[in-house]
Amino acid sequence: MADPVATTGVLTAGDPAHAEGLSFHPMDQFMVKPLFGDYGDPVYWYTITNVTLWMALAVLCVVGLFVLGTSRRAIIPNRVQSVAELAYGFVYKMIEDVTGRDAVKFFPYVFTLFLFILFANFLALIPSSFSPTSHIAVTGLLALAVFLTVTIVGFVKNGASFLGLFWVTSAPLAIRPVLAVIELISYFVRPVSHSIRLAGNLTAGHAVLKVFAGFAQVAAISPLAVLGVTAIYGLEVLVAFIQAYVFTILTCVYLKDALHPNH
Amino acid sequence: MEGNIAEIGQFLGAGLAAMGSGIAALGVGNVAGNFLAGALRNPSAAGGQTATLFIGIAFAEALGIFSFLVALLLMFAV
């Protein structure tokens, strides 16, 4: 194997084994590997991979935050309790404002989604960690769960009148069938866009971080590249929060459609 | 560097698809800019509309992410 030519700064796509530009490939960080065993071992549904590890760590962080935060229940909260109360109040207000007071019974589900995505996103920002939410397999399952919940709740709550969601009574009668087709398509595209938005944002952000890190190998521009990594890292912290927020608030919007389909 | 015509098409297509992400940035900027313009005229109403702002940004951004996804598919999956 020839030494990777690390001085050109040219990105080459494809097989990382014959990298001509950077010594590592920006998409290598998203590879799913078995945690025990060598790279390239087959991955079955029960294999413990790095995705499993980082999702479990996210769950552990959420549990830790809330077990520690609610164990004292002091009048004057300590730091952990303040963070837990802040998160609780933030999501509670969100679902109350967007979906309405009668949707508060879905609060545990929405809160769980928010915290899991938030902590998975934040843990992924630790250098050399792994971001499970950059995989459509993970986010797709979350979005599909939301889609099924919304559809089932809509039909259970409203019966057949849930289909009124697709029959826009405020439009002239002539164009209602056309609108119904469009509404139907947009309803079924929801889980796709819901999942790809999260995964795509995370993938793009982490790939950009790695590309800038690769530029740091080129001596002439390395101070600039380090500055760039720092700036983009700050942006990624913001994106990690905003994407968790957006996923949650869209869940609230979809739940509103299920609970009140006629407005 | 040798390349065949399919590879050229793949890279060109990925580059063209990546343009979509940039164009989606115009849409996101439009949403945020109009929100700011409205918020400066009526600052008291702005606080309650941040959720709407983020929903609008998310919808505008999703299509840009789709084109980014097409670029990724062309580079790594085709």
Is pLDDT at A4 greater than 80 in this prediction? no
Task: Report the top-level CATH class of B9-77.
Answer: mainly alpha
Predicted confidence band at A263 (pLDDT cuts at 50, 70, 90)?
low
Predicted confidence band at A127 (pLDDT cuts at 50, 70, 90)?
confident
**Do A200 and B69 count as a contact with CB atoms less than 8 A apart?**
yes
**Beta strands in B1-78, from DSSP E residues, in sequence order:** none
**Do B65 and A200 count as a contact with CB atoms less than 8 A apart?**
yes
User: Tens digit of pLDDT for each residue in B40-78?
Assistant: 999 998 888 888 898 888 888 888 888 988 898 888 877
User: Tens digit of pLDDT for each residue in A64-88?
Assistant: 999 998 888 888 888 889 999 999 9
Residues on chain B touching A200 (C-beta within 8 angstroms) = 65-66, 68-69
User: Tens digit of pLDDT for each residue in B10-40?
Assistant: 889 999 998 998 999 999 999 999 999 999 9
Domain residue extents for chain B: 9-77
User: Tens digit of pLDDT for each residue in A45-62?
Assistant: 888 888 999 999 999 999
Residues on chain B touching A190 (C-beta within 8 angstroms) = none
**Do B54 and A246 count as a contact with CB atoms less than 8 A apart?**
yes
User: Tens digit of pLDDT for each residue in A28-39?
Assistant: 888 888 888 777
Residues on chain A touching B58 (C-beta within 8 angstroms) = 197, 246, 249-250
**Do B51 and A13 count as a contact with CB atoms less than 8 A apart?**
no
In this prediction, residue B1 carries a pLDDT of 55
> Among A23-27, A222-226, A230-234, A258-262, where is mean pLDDT lowest?
A23-27
Is this complex's ipTM strictly greater than 0.90? no
Is pLDDT at B2 greater than 70 in this prediction? no
In sequence order, what are the residues at sequence separation of 6 or more whose Cβ sits closer than 8 angstroms to the Cβ of residue A80? A65, A68, A69
In sequence order, what are the residues at sequence separation of 6 or more whose Cβ sits closer than 8 angstroms to the Cβ of residue A132? A51, A54, A55, A58, A120, A124, A138
Residues of chain A above pLDDT 90, percent: 52
Distance from CA of A14 to the nearest CA of B (A): 6
The residue type of A225 is: A
User: Tens digit of pLDDT for each residue in A162-215?
Assistant: 888 888 888 888 889 999 999 999 999 999 999 999 999 999 899 889 888 888
Predicted confidence band at A2 (pLDDT cuts at 50, 70, 90)?
very low
- Region at A11 (left for phi over 0; alpha for psi -120 to 50; beta for the rest): beta
The residue type of A28 is: D
Length of chain B: 78
**Do B66 and A242 count as a contact with CB atoms less than 8 A apart?**
no
